[in-house]
Homo-oligomer: A and B are copies of this chain.
């Protein structure tokens, strides 16, 4: 576990450095939005998604620095979802990670605009990826993953069930789309930049799918919400374990090189126990 900690520590520092480079300065005009964007991006996130992009790259290629820009684009997209999900019209949350949410700190208009600006910046960052063909392929795949039949679709359905008892198929839809799709896209992004062949891409995509859903399932285990409310603690735990075992099995296709991804999968299961 300490090796994984070191891995995260190393790459979180690189990701934060790159995000700092990508984001406009706080005092760049109009500063209200740049302060809001930076406040939400640098708010103590674990950087799981960018680290997954980099670890997935390392399974298939050398020089993981090449995945750093795209990894940061994924984190910008993740931050957009958090800002907009917290809005009064959505989950109406005042706090996230022990600090005021973006709209509580900067007002609702700035929060909506800061979220959208992070999304635009993410696509701008992806447009810098070379070779050109890979850049466009990533933009296609990521835009699809976050769109109306992806992450956004998951949030739509989540809102549909806001004051209703959710059933298992609906909960699966919400979790796979709202949480799973971006985690899967992060993994896929890394191996596409590494130029992995289709078979490796499929293994990584399956890995990403399993840990993406497992991430939400374990969240529910911790919070006593969602899956735990429908299936009970024991079944929910078993589901999470099954998903992580499936993810780990995918990493075994890469021999030794797959170990880091396997460790991350196990970390998702064990976190905050």
CB within 8 Å of B: which residues of A? 24, 28-30, 32-34, 37, 80, 84, 87, 89-90, 107-110, 112-117, 119-121, 123-124, 126-129, 131-133, 135-137, 139-140, 143-144, 146-150, 152-153, 155-157, 159-160
Contacts and interface: CB of A to CB of B under 8 A. Distances in A.
Nearest to A162: B109
A160 to B, nearest CB: 7
A32 B156 contact: yes
A124 B149 CA distance: 13
Contact of A136 (B87, B89, B110, B135): B135
Given A30-B148, A33-B148, A124-B139, 9 more contacts: A33-B153, A84-B112, A90-B112, A113-B155, A116-B152, A120-B143, A120-B144, A120-B148, A127-B137
B132 A112 contact: no
A249 to B, nearest CB: 30
Contacts of A128: 136, 140
A136 B132 contact: yes
> How many copies of this chain does one complex carry?
2
A87 B159 CA distance: 18
A60 to B, nearest CB: 21
B144 A124 contact: yes
B121 A123 contact: no
B109 A24 contact: no
B110 A156 contact: yes
A130 B169 CA distance: 39
A147 B30 contact: no
27 contacts: A29-B153, A30-B153, A30-B156, A30-B157, A32-B156, A84-B112, A89-B107, A89-B108, A90-B112, A109-B155, A110-B156, A110-B159, A112-B112, A113-B155, A120-B147, A121-B147, A124-B143, A124-B144, A124-B147, A127-B136, A127-B139, A127-B140, A127-B143, A131-B132, A132-B132, A136-B136, A139-B139
A148 B84 contact: no
Contact of A160 (B24, B30, B150, B156): B30
